[in-house]
Structure 1
């Protein structure tokens, strides 16, 4: 849609103008179907297109919110976000839909809290049912923190997401918090091979799994010529063992942690 592109262009031009002269107020032109809101070069400038799609650009640092690839995607993003933004533990606007699932990023300090909050939304921590879902999540949610970035969080900090995979009930029997089964022959296939081999001696104390949002390489990026091909055999996912608090990671760099909830959206 032309108005969606025009709104992006106006916000971008105003950001460039603010970089050149921070004392100059952003220009909000009159364009039919678009409502602009702005104050000065130290705050957000937003644009609402046809009352159903809102995007913004922080004039002080260039952080973007809602900058989907198309108007239709923007509408969908806004509708999904509105369903969950009233929950105070949901990262604002960090929600997205694919087929019959809404995926929502949650503030959570440990796995138990992340799972409880996922359940309060009507779902559970994410279940990765097959490689297609893994690839979609990788491209749209966790790799390079894509969903957080779309929601306006452009931090480059190391980030991890609690997932539903666990072996709390029975040691070594990996199941999903949702109770669903997956298409994987063995859920162990999702576990990072180096992590698997290096942490066998700690397995009894680590019952939960996270996935890294800034360094995930998924199933297919590792090949036999890569570093340590005996560990990275190209057949494994990238989930990492942690305890409930993710203590080891927090004591070694203290990366950010969030919960990734999956809520059924089809009746």
Structure 2
């Protein structure tokens, strides 16, 4: 009778330990990206969403460089002051940065020495380049103009290794690029439920991604826009991790009890 009772208790302890182990297996399975892709060398092509060039908005900072055969002639035009912006990069993961460029005012204009005010809002950087080049041609012979965003910011928060607001060096940045800058998701991040928050014409848009599926490449939101916010929600494993001390204590007690039960059954 006693032996049967001890055996039943042993099974209960083993079942308890199994419950503690199984969640780790589930977490490992959910931490893999694009699980719908075959694990073979066979090529699979996916047509990604179309990239649309972002347009310039008020409060953007533009890096504008005007060049001619004689650099001295455009030195005054290219003199700009540095401005602090909130953001990070791979070199400076936290804090603020100093960027040089021309601020787009509330009316959508940039003020360039000698060239005056030029309206660039709602234009792409390519369109703004052509417009500034036409204005510069009045004062310089065969000028070349380069225009790009100096404060193209993406914010990544939640269950990532380096949450921050990142200033990216180009306009063609994807969801995966942003997550890479943030050091990838932690083991507790919900890869099947990544949230994107975007402001469009004064309205907030909310889009969710499932990184376990390759369909993320087809999403029209796969390419990010300036000031996008990515939030990675914590999974149930995060709650378990916060109670790690309690779980370890229970596991230790279970192991001790199982050893005692085994010892008693052999008496």
With the length of structure 1 as denominator, give the TM-score of the two structures.
0.21
**Larger RCO (CA under 8 A, 6+ residues apart):** 2
With the length of structure 2 as denominator, give the TM-score of the two structures.
0.21
Structure with higher Rg: it is 2
